[in-house]
Amino acid sequence: MRLAVIGAGAVGRSVVELAGEYGHEVVAVADSSSAVVADGTGGTGGPGSDGRAGVDPDAVAARKAERGIVGDDDPADALAADYDVLVEATPTTLGDAEPGFSHVTTALERDRHAVLANKGPVAERFGDLRAAVDDSDGEIRFEATVGGAIPAVSTVEDIEPGHVTAVRGVLNGTANFILTRMAAEGLDYDHVLAEAQDLGVAEADPSFDVDGTDAALKCVILANVLSFGAVDDPTDAREFTLEDADVSGIRDVPGSALRLAAEDGRTVRLIGEATGEAVRVAPRLVPENGTLAVSGTQNIVQIETSHAGRLNISGRGAGGPETASAVLGDVGRLE
């Protein structure tokens, strides 16, 4: 498939780097201020170093590193390029979820597919997105928006949303790293947060992760999959946004709570849960050696089914190549 990759952060760059290995061709790459469109599709990009037509991944990486741009074309040129699948990998934005939402609907209006790594459009405007899909010959997929490399969305789709009663899990690696270290070292939140920031596991402003917003967005997306997937007529589905989520983070979890839990063979994890009716994220007590007590930056998703019991899927919940592999798995499902 011919891919236009919008967004040149860790995920976008990994998609550009790995696409050829999956038999796909990157015909355009854009960041917020620049773009490169492959020759023959109206741009200045040369053939790849592997001899394939399409954008040269190494040249994109080099320009991004040296000059802070991906190429000499305009971002609009990438959106107008001749692609089969638009990969939306710009940063997650809330509310109107722009500019990601418009990037995706532009692709759908052209009857092209879109694969999202950006949580905004599927968490905040799922109903608008479904409506745009209904008017298009293109489809959308968004495995990369939930749990990085973990196939949460496609597994729920295969089981069929009508036969899934709930999905819960540990969906934020930063919060999980902090809770794991607090329990292991008997340290307080502020101390471990500083350590996580030094290690690059936590952002300078960690709010999005430690307040539960990121985990809540993932659960909202799963709730939308469960709600819309269980009905024949989309107008019968309940749409969820971040506002519908009941969220508390880990800032107020005292080290003493973890010490008390440990004496009882338990520990604390930030658990998100989604059903077709509700979304909740909160620190919860779980068995110390239990399935939900994944360590460090690992994520886990538990899928409760009507006929097949409980499925547990754990793995790397973040990372450029990990998330890019979910994006490319989605592209494969569109073939």
- Interface positions with a copy of itself (CB under 8 A): 14, 18, 21-22, 148-151, 154-155, 158-160, 163, 289, 291, 305, 307-316, 319, 321-322, 324-326, 329, 332-333
Tell me if 185 is assigned to a ligand binding site: no
Tell me if 138 is assigned to a ligand binding site: no
Query: Nearest-5° angle of CA 60, CA 66, CA 69?
Result: 50
Longest distance between any two alpha carbons in the chain, whole Å: 66
Measured from the CB atom, the residue of 159 and 257 that comes closer to a copy of itself is: 159
| DSSP symbols for 48-93 | -TTS-SS--HHHHHHHHHHHS-S-SB-HHHHHTS--SEEEE-SPP-
* Min separation Cβ 247 and a copy of itself, Å: 27
Measured from the CB atom, the residue of 14 and 41 that comes closer to a copy of itself is: 14
* Min separation Cβ 291 and a copy of itself, Å: 7
Tell me if 8 is assigned to a ligand binding site: yes
Enumerate residues 6+ apart whose C-beta is below 8 A from 131: 234
Measured from the CB atom, the residue of 268 and 300 that comes closer to a copy of itself is: 300
Distance CA 189, CA 174 (A): 12
Tell me if 331 is assigned to a ligand binding site: no
Enumerate residues 6+ apart whose C-beta is below 8 A from 98: none
* Min separation Cβ 261 and a copy of itself, Å: 16
CA 293 to chain centre: 21
Tell me if 7 is assigned to a ligand binding site: yes
Strands (E), 126-255: 140-141, 164-170, 245-247
Measured from the CB atom, the residue of 168 and 280 that comes closer to a copy of itself is: 168
- Would you tell me the crossing angle of helices 126-134 and 100-109 to the nearest 10 degrees? 10
64 is catalytic: no
Tell me if 23 is assigned to a ligand binding site: no
* Min separation Cβ 265 and a copy of itself, Å: 11
Query: Nearest-5° angle of CA 229, CA 232, CA 235?
Result: 90
Measured from the CB atom, the residue of 136 and 299 that comes closer to a copy of itself is: 299
Locate 36 and state its tokens.
Answer: 């490169």
* Min separation Cβ 63 and a copy of itself, Å: 23
Say which of 218, 266, 269, 280 is annotated catalytic: 218
Locate 310 and state its tokens.
Answer: 């409980």
**Catalytic residue set:** 218
Q: Which residues belong to the annotated binding site for NADP(+)?
A: 7-12
The annotated binding site is made up of 7-12, 119, 203
Residues annotated as binding site for NADPH? 119
